[in-house]
Each structure stands twice: as structure tokens, then as C-alpha cells.
């Protein structure tokens, strides 16, 4: 799949901004479903073209045991090469004109490589649940109160716990480790030959001590992990390595250009929406669903059901932290409903949305809990699976399932937003990319009226955000404002007084189902 603004549209807009093309910025978004590559104009910030690989379908996620989720890191690199190739072949984008590269990536994964920079085993990705018990043991060893005061999180099922799990359960693999890294660090390594990471990245791995403003050495000691396993630190924005001649040859880039930005997908999604200051909120609803708010406070949830990380623009002088709520089973639930409703042909998402819109708010009592994609942090790292409730064979149809699925996702996100509000976060207006679940009018309406927020939708995505970050890090954009000149708002959805009570009643019935399972007390 390749999609882009029309050639006349973006070139005409660039002329309006006052000049010829001076070069491109390339953003790579390494997801668990696909890799996206986007090119924006380095002068105006306008989007030029994007590609996705696989162009049809999605990456496979291997699950050799119940609750495990793994991917081959080299599959991501091959997809980077393929998505870049699509930009060149389909639309004649001269990637030799790229001036800098930025990387966004799926958070919380673990990649381990040997001294030859070769992966030792498949990556243990974000939705893998194997390290929950390991994380609990680490928290008990350090002390939960100290974890929350120093790390602002419990180790949970995050990268540090996954690395400790490898040490306990795969000692032969562990002995081979030269460096342990995040998925974005791996792609940067493939581009530059350098093994580096960021402070923001270490915070998402639960390897950052907010009190000491340093690596979480206490956690490493408790896990019998050496700090030497961690990559060298570089800034989120700035030169993180130069593209090697080999990588340049494979991608069609100019050797020696900088990789000048990298960030996890959710902090990067916030950057792509210009969500950088306290009180600003970003959301996304792809494979997982996320609400991400920026604060200047070192706050945490006492149960670590939502998590606090260093935001991309954090500094000692101006602290900026991101509070992240994640529901694993969002777009993946919608895809499952689509695939399993299709018999003679595969139904499209547009058809699903149309059918869902014909069903009243509340889906005539049908309720779906969307927790079918691993352990859920908002449920204290429980893996309860997805479930359908109050199904009436005589009343409910596929259309009801489609609507109940979208409503269930929104209600699960709303449950987490209540946790954020209890922490003191203000959630009044949300920005999101006009993509994935936010393409659905039913989802838009349910989100705005259940959570009680205005929703601004923008023509952007994670790969475009990574490209803008590259321009900031390379100094091509002279100010932060310049980086967002090309950001276009598509629409805004406000809560509707005539619908709010119906959605709140439906949400309350949904929560009664959740409570009845004795999951939340």
C-alpha cells in the first residue's frame, strides 16, 4: 500500500510557503503490524508520500507458548528496505535527497544481539506476557514503594523484566548478549552501525531513575544485570549516528546523513500531533489503544496501571513526562471481528462502520470486553481474555458485534482515563491522527461522548512524526513551530448533549459486566 497527497496539492502548497524543495526528511515507524515510511518536505514540513510494508496484510506475531509474542528483528529491517523501495518505485521519490532520518518504534520490546550485532533470539515484543511474574519478583525485591517513588512505575511486564526473564530462563542465550536494546535501537543500529539508546527509551524500559536522573542501577543490581548490557546514551533529538555506506546502498539514501531522532511510538505519536506541553493529550487506536498526556510533574499511579515515562522534549530545565494509558486489544479486536464475519468475501472496515452506525448506542445490551491481546496494565497485569456478554441469538447480528466491539474499546479506554484523572491529569481535549479506529464515525462519537472530550483529528501518523523529529534533531527546522507548519487538522468532534447520557448508561452497564467477573474490586 502506498498513499500520498496529490502531487499538485503538496507542490502547490510548498510554493505558497515560499520556495523550491531543498530536500526530504524520512520517518520510519516500526510497528508490530507493519513498517511505515513517510517523506516530508524539509523546508515547508508538508507531507509528500508514505508507504507501508507489508503492503497487504500485517506482520505475523509468533506465539510459541500461551501469552508469548515474538517477532524476528530482521523482519522489521527487511520491511524498512521494502517500504523505502516502494517510495522509490511507485512515486519516483529520490531518497538521495533525504537530509535526515527519524525513527519511531513499538515500545517495551527486547532485542538482544551478540558482538557481531546479530540477534540472538526473536524479539520479545510489547504484548508478550511471560515476564509478569518476573516483574512482580523484582518489585518485591526493591520494594514497591521505592519502585514507584524512584522509577514512577512497577517493573511489570516491561523491557527490564523481559531481560531479567532471559537471564533466568535462557542462560545460554544470556551469556551471548553483547547489548540489550529496544526495537528502535536495533533499527538505528542497522542504519548507523552504532548501538545507542535514549533516556526516554530507558524510562519506557523501566530502567530510568527519576529521582537520580540516571540509569536505574538499583534495579540492575537487584536483577543481577550489568549496566554494560545497555547501549550508550544519546539525546532524543540530535545526531545518533550517521547512515553507513552499506545501509545507504540498500535504502537508496546518501551515506553520512544523520539519524537525528528516535522515540517510542506513543511519545512519538504525541510529537506528531504537537502534544508537547502540560495538559495536552494525544490518543491513538491502532493494534493497541493509547491515551497519552503530558505533565511537568513526576506523578505515578499507586498501582502502576498507567505509566509515566520521560517525554521526547524532557530536560532538566523544563521537565516533561508522558503519562500513558494502554489497552492492548483495540484495532486487533476490530480486525478479528472483520475476519471472522467474512464468509464469501472479506468485509471492509467501511462496511463494518456503516453496519455499526445502524445499531443504537449501547448495542441493544450486547457487551464486549476487548482484553484479548495479552496482560493488561489497567487490569493490574491480568490477562483475562476477550469476552462477549448478553448475547441474544434472536436479537443480535454482526452489526451489533461491530458496534459493541467499538464501544467496548472506548469503554476500556475510559476506564483508564478515570485512573489518569484520579492522578490529577486534566483530560478535556484530545488530539489524534485521522487513522485506524479514529476513521470510524461510530468510534469518534463514542470516544467524545463517553470520555467527555473534544477530539481533534489531524492528517498525520507516526512515520510523519518521526520525520518531523528528524528535522528538529538535525537543526533543519529552526524552531519547533516550523516543524508543524505542515500539520493539517481534518475535523473536530465535540460531545453531543443529546447522546452523552446514552453513552454513559451503556458504559456503566459495561463496567457492571467487568465488575461481575471479579476482575476489578
pLDDT of the residue at 472: 97
pLDDT of the residue at 346: 85
| Cβ(427)–Cβ(389) below 8 Å | no
Measure CA 171 to chain center.
31
Quick one: 98 and 139 in the same domain? no
Quick one: 341 and 417 in the same domain? yes
pLDDT of the residue at 2: 36
* Segment 284-323, tens digit of pLDDT: 998 889 999 999 999 999 999 999 999 999 999 999 999 9
Determine the structural domain holding residue 176 and report its residue range: 108-181+196-230
441: number of Cβ within 10 Å: 13
Of the candidates 74, 71, 76, which has an alpha carbon nearest to the alpha carbon of residue 103? 76
The pLDDT-based confidence of 518 (bands split at 50, 70, 90) is: low
Question: Which residues on adjacent β-strands are paired with residue 38?
Answer: 27, 50
Quick one: 454 and 331 in the same domain? yes
- Asked if the model's pLDDT at residue 521 lies above 80, the reply is no
Quick one: 91 and 114 in the same domain? no
Question: Which residues on adjacent β-strands are paired with residue 123?
Answer: 71
Quick one: 363 and 501 in the same domain? yes
How far lies 168's CA from each of 133, 165, 216, 456, in Å? Answer: 12, 5, 20, 46
Q: What is the mean pLDDT of residues 493-507?
A: 98
Torsion angle of alpha carbons 55, 81, 117, 189, nearest 10°?
-100
502 vs 517: which has the higher pLDDT: 502
Is the residue at 187 inside a domain?
no
Of the candidates 469, 494, 6, which has an alpha carbon nearest to the alpha carbon of residue 239? 469
Is the residue at 259 inside a domain?
yes
* Segment 320-352, tens digit of pLDDT: 999 999 999 898 999 999 999 876 788 999 999
* Segment 211-244, tens digit of pLDDT: 999 999 999 999 999 999 999 999 999 999 999 9
pLDDT of the residue at 262: 97
pLDDT of the residue at 13: 42
pLDDT of the residue at 57: 85
Greatest mean pLDDT among 5-14, 287-296, 501-510 lies in 501-510
* Segment 89-101, tens digit of pLDDT: 998 899 999 999 9
* Segment 159-217, tens digit of pLDDT: 999 999 999 999 999 999 999 999 999 999 999 999 999 999 999 999 999 999 999 99
The CATH number of whichever domain residue 151 belongs to comes to 3.30.420.40
Quick one: 139 and 115 in the same domain? yes
d(CA 279, CA 494): 18
pLDDT of the residue at 157: 92
Is the residue at 305 inside a domain?
no
pLDDT of the residue at 19: 45
Quick one: 137 and 225 in the same domain? yes
Dihedral sign (CA 455, 457, 463, 465): negative
Of the candidates 445, 380, 455, which has an alpha carbon nearest to the alpha carbon of residue 419? 380
Cβ contacts of 22 within 8 Å, gap of 6 or more: 42, 43, 99
Buried b (16+ CB within 10 A) or exposed e, 465-501: bbbbbbbbbbebbeeeebbbbbbeeeeebebeeeeee
Quick one: 242 and 362 in the same domain? no
pTM, two decimals, is: 0.90
pLDDT of the residue at 5: 39
Question: Which residues on adjacent β-strands are paired with residue 124?
Answer: 70, 110
Torsion angle of alpha carbons 10, 11, 13, 15, nearest 10°?
170
d(CA 461, CA 473): 18
Of the candidates 26, 237, 223, which has an alpha carbon nearest to the alpha carbon of residue 110? 223
* Segment 132-152, tens digit of pLDDT: 999 999 999 999 999 999 999
Residue with cell 538521495: 96
The pLDDT-based confidence of 519 (bands split at 50, 70, 90) is: low
Is the residue at 300 inside a domain?
no
Dihedral sign (CA 439, 443, 445, 447): negative
Segment holding 78, helix H or strand E: helix 73-91
Quick one: 497 and 423 in the same domain? yes
| Cβ(160)–Cβ(96) below 8 Å | no
d(CA 218, CA 224): 10
Quick one: 33 and 151 in the same domain? no
Segment holding 234, helix H or strand E: strand 232-234
Quick one: 397 and 434 in the same domain? yes
* Segment 419-447, tens digit of pLDDT: 999 999 999 899 999 999 999 999 999 99
244: number of Cβ within 10 Å: 17
The pLDDT-based confidence of 374 (bands split at 50, 70, 90) is: confident
Number of structural domains the chain divides into: 3
Quick one: 126 and 269 in the same domain? no
Amino acid at each position: 500500500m502506498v498513499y500520498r497527497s496529490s502531487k499538485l496539492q503538496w507542490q502547490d502548497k510548498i510554493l505558497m510557503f515560499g520556495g523550491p524543495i531543498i530536500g526530504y526528511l524520512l520517518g520510519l515507524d516500526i510497528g508490530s503490524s507493519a513498517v511505515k515510511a513517510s517523506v516530508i518536505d524539509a523546508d515547508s514540513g508538508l507531507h509528500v508520500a508514505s508507504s507501508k510494508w507489508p503492503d497487504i496484510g500485517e506482520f505475523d506475531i509468533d506465539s510459541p507458548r500461551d501469552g508469548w509474542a515474538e517477532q524476528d528483528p530482521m523482519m522489521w529491517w527487511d520491511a524498512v528496505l521494502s517500504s523505502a523501495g516502494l517510495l522509490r518505485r511507485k512515486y519516483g521519490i529520490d531518497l538521495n535527497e533525504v537530509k535526515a532520518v527519524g525513527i519511531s518504534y513499538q515500545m517495551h520490546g527486547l532485542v538482544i544481539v551478540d558482538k557481531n550485532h546479530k540477534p540472538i533470539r526473536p524479539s520479545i515484543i510489547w504484548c508478550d506476557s511471560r515476564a509478569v511474574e518476573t516483574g512482580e519478583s523484582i518489585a518485591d525485591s526493591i520494594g514497591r514503594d521505592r519502585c514507584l517513588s524512584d522509577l514512577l512505575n512497577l517493573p511489570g511486564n516491561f523491557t527490564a523484566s523481559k531481560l531479567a526473564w532471559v537471564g533466568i530462563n535462557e542462560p545460554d542465550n544470556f551469556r551471548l548478549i553483547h547489548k540489550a536494546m529496544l526495537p528502535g535501537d536495533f533499527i538505528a543500529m542497522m542504519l548507523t552501525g552504532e548501538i545507542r539508546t535514549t533516556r526516554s527509551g530507558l524510562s519506557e524500559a523501566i530502567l530510568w531513575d527519576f529521582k537520580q536522573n540516571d540509569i536505574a542501577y538499583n534495579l540492575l543490581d537487584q536483577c543481577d544485570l550489568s549496566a554494560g548490557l545497555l547501549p550508550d546514551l544519546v539525546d532524543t533529538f540530535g545526531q545518533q549516528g550517521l547512515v553507513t555506506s552499506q545501509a545507504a546502498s540498500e535504502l537508496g539514501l546518501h551515506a553520512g546523513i544523520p539519524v537525528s531522532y528516535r522515540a517510542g511510538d506513543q511519545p512519538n505519536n504525541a510529537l506528531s500531533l504537537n502534544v508537547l506541553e502540560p495538559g495536552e493529550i494525544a490518543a491513538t487506536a491502532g493494534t493497541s489503544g493509547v491515551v497519552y498526556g503530558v505533565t511537568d510533574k513526576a506523578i505515578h499511579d499507586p498501582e502502576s496501571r498507567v505509566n509515566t515515562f520521560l517525554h521526547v522534549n524532557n530536560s532538566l530545565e523544563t521537565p516533561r513526562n508522558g503519562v500513558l494509558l494502554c489497552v492492548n486489544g483495540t484495532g486487533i479486536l476490530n480486525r478479528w471481528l472483520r475476519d471472522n464475519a467474512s464468509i464469501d468475501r472479506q468485509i471492509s472496515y467501511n462496511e463494518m462502520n456503516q453496519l455499526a452506525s445502524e445499531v443504537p448506542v449501547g448495542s441493544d445490551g450486547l457487551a464486549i470486553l476487548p482484553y484479548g491481546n495479552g496482560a493488561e496494565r489497567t487490569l493490574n497485569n491480568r490477562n483475562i481474555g476477550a469476552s462477549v456478554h448478553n448475547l441474544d441469538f434472536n436479537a443480535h447480528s454482526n452489526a451489533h458485534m461491530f458496534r459493541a466491539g467499538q464501544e467496548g474499546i472506548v469503554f476500556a479506554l475510559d476506564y483508564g482515563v478515570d485512573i489518569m484523572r484520579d492522578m490529577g491529569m486534566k483530560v478535556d481535549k484530545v488530539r489524534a491522527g485521522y487513522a485506524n479506529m479514529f476513521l470510524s464515525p461510530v468510534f469518534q462519537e463514542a470516544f467524545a461522548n463517553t470520555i467527555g472530550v473534544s477530539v481533534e483529528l489531524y492528517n498525520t501518523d507516526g512515520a510523519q512524526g518521526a520525520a518531523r523529529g528528524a528535522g528538529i534533531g538535525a537543526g533543519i527546522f529552526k524552531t519547533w513551530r516550523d516543524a508543524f507548519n505542515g500539520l493539517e487538522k481534518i475535523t473536530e468532534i465535540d460531545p453531543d448533549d443529546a447522546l452523552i447520557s446514552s453513552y454513559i448508561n451503556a458504559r456503566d452497564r459495561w463496567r457492571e459486566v467487568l465488575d461481575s467477573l471479579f476482575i476489578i474490586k
